[in-house]
Amino acid sequence: MRILLVDDEAELTTPLTQILTREGYRVEVADHGQTGMNLALTQDYDLLILDWMLPYYSGIQITQALRKQQKTTPVLLLTAKDTLGDRVTGLDAGADDYLLKPFELPELLARVRALLRRGQFLVKKLKFADLELDTDNQLAYRQGRMIKLSEKEIKLLGYFMDHPNQLLTHEQIYQYLWSGEEKPSSNVLAALIRLLRRKIEAKGETQLIHTVYGRGYCLAEFPDDNRIS
């Protein structure tokens, strides 16, 4: 999942970026309203976290511009403005949620998870190379063939497709697939990866899921793809 964080306070963005990254999100940071506006309107994100008060363009203005383009990306506003009128202004501008500064990090993470879950209902298909994933119907498509997947396989493949060319560690995958559940043995994940590979990598098709030995797995078109990190 890609998150754009726009805030001009480095003492906030630095630790927040570290925490969100540890949670498995890909975070991009802008410390200026102009940069934030350009990124929000030209790139695809799963969530925007915007400070209200920014140089040049405010979080409110970025949100309004986003909605004018019919973009439905969830927006979380961060602000010290705490009056009812301010909250109404933010929500009327198109923000989905509102968090007062200073805030506790567990609350922010909970709001991030809630907004991302809400945003997932708007996403019908994910695509990587010649592979498409229809999460609503638990189906994948590759080179014209339909692939039926289990609920866990759908969740795992969706996680890979949200983080292309990126190393996902064993621990990150366990946390994502079995959060709140008893952690299974290491053999369970390896077996799930094998089953998923058999379904999406038929004979003659390019391998997409690669093992990074001792560390985890990544989704890439080529095993030596230098973008993998």
Q: Which CATH number fits the domain that encloses residue 157?
A: 1.10.10.10
Q: How many whole angstroms separate alpha carbon 103 and alpha carbon 137?
A: 38
CA distance 42 to 66: 10
Nearest to 195 by CA among 142, 151, 164: 151
pTM for the predicted model, two decimal places: 0.53
In a domain, 228, yes or no: no
Note down the domain range covering 206. 125-219
Residue 177 scores a pLDDT above 80:
yes
Q: Which range is least confidently modeled, 24-28, 49-53, 75-79, 179-183?
A: 179-183
Could you tell me if 10 and 100 lie in one domain? yes
- Please indicate, yes or no, whether residues 52 and 80 belong to a single structural domain of this protein: yes
Same domain, 16 and 103: yes
Task: Tell me which residue of 109, 130, 142 sits closest to 24, measured CA to CA.
Answer: 109
| Shared domain check, 38 and 8 | yes
Domain C-terminal end among 92, 120, 148: 120
Same domain, 14 and 116: yes
Query: Does residue 5 come out as left (phi exceeding 0), alpha (psi in the -120 to 50 range) or beta?
Result: beta
Predicted pLDDT of residue 226: 46
> What pLDDT, on the 0 to 100 scale, is given for residue 217?
96
| Whether residues 184 and 156 fall in one domain | yes
Q: In what order do the strands lie in the sheet with 209-212?
A: 168-169, 216-219, 209-212
Question: Of the candidates 120, 148, 177, which is a domain's last residue?
Answer: 120
C-alpha triplet 212, 126, 173: angle, nearest 5°: 35
pLDDT digit string (tens) for 109-146?
Answer: 998 988 888 766 554 578 899 999 987 677 899 987 89
Helices and strands counted in the chain (H then E)? 8, 12
- The answer to the question of residue 229 being in a domain is no
Of the three residues 104, 120, 136, the one that is the final residue of a domain is 120
Domain count for the chain: 2
